Amino acid sequence: MIAEGGFRQPLNRVVAPLLMIGAFVGAWEIYARNSSIGDTVLPPFSRVAQAGWADRQSLVANTLPTLREVLVGFAISVLFAFLISILLDVSPRANRAVMPLLIGSQTIPLVVLAPLFVIWFGFGFFPKILLVTLVTFFPIVVGLIDGYASSERDSVTLLRTMGAGTLTVFRLVRLPSAMPGFFTGLRIGVTYAVVAAIFAEYAGAVNGLGVYIQGASGSFRTDLVLAGVLVAATLTLVLYALTVLVQRLAIPWYTQSREVSR
């Protein structure tokens, strides 16, 4: 079982998604070439790739700031999520008081918020990371809180009978129990992060993928718009894959046990 699965699985994991992406790109190419829509409105993939490659310098120069916003915003988000979740976990009263506020923060439409942030905080780095943080912390907090709650009762009780205090119980049982939930939240959060950063840039920025896409759109370069979108999608995929990788390394006891029981 181990030999067979170990050999075949990684291959499937790479080949199957690549085939899907290939099929999508192929369908796009064929449709764009044969339909009457016209190249300027729906350029085929090959043209998007060519245009993107030709403009690679500008594309890379605008991807880096976006990546930086995403990484910094996401890091703050994780930190913040841990602090909030611990507070909410130790104090049920805080949970009741703060949770509605957190949920409320998630209902504000980004379209409204992003321009406001620009008015309040200017065109710089800060409003971007603020938006990324705001959008990504919620799934992480929820993942953590659910995770704490998933601790085995007997394990907690056992530690108590051994004389462990609240802090020891948290460190040795509740926190590790929350790791699967944390990584689920992390994966959801990371898929929103790039979109949030681009949104923030759209509302007003000096550079970034959002600015790039906006500029290309203003000059009717649909091929470059799509090139920008492809880069954003790739960025999200890579970040997602990284999270999965970190999860595999950080909590092998969870990932592996699930593979066995499949």
Closest CB to other proteins among 9 and 257? 257
- Count of C-beta atoms within a 10 Å radius of residue 200: 31
Closest CB to other proteins among 169 and 224? 169
What lies within 8 Å, CB to CB, of 78 at 6+ separation is 137, 140, 186
- Report angle CA 72, 229, 68 to the nearest 5 degrees: 15
Closest CB to other proteins among 24 and 253? 253
Structure tokens at 230: 């492809």
Q: What is the CA radius of gyration of the chain?
A: 22
> Smallest distance from the beta carbon of 189 to other proteins, in angstroms?
22
Which residue shows structure tokens 């907090």?
A: 141
The DSSP output letter for 174 is: I
Closest CB to other proteins among 58 and 155? 155
Which residue shows structure tokens 């995403």?
A: 70
Closest CB to other proteins among 101 and 167? 167
> Smallest distance from the beta carbon of 257 to other proteins, in angstroms?
4
Task: Candidates 24-32, 62-70, 163-171, 219-227: pick the segment binding other proteins (CB under 8 A).
Answer: 163-171
Q: Considering only residues 154, 167, 249, 262, which one is a binding residue for other proteins as defined by CB under 8 A? A: 154
Q: What is the DSSP string of 230-252?
A: HHHHHHHHHHHHHHHHHHHHH-H
Residue 31 within binding range of other proteins, rule CB under 8 A: no
Question: What secondary structure, in 3-state letters, does 36-66 show?
Answer: CCCCCCCCCHHHHHHHHHHCHHHHHHHHHHH
Task: Candidates 15-23, 45-53, 73-81, 172-180: pick the segment binding other proteins (CB under 8 A).
Answer: 172-180
Closest CB to other proteins among 180 and 208? 180
> Smallest distance from the beta carbon of 9 to other proteins, in angstroms?
18
Task: Candidates 125-133, 141-149, 191-199, 252-260: pick the segment binding other proteins (CB under 8 A).
Answer: 252-260
Gap between the Cα atoms of 25 and 44, Å rounded: 9
Letters for 175-214 (x = contact with other proteins by CB under 8 A, - = none) are -x--x-----------------------------------
Which residue shows structure tokens 């507070």?
A: 87
Q: Which residues bind other proteins (CB under 8 A)?
A: 152, 154-155, 157-164, 168, 172-173, 176, 179, 251-254, 256-257, 260-261
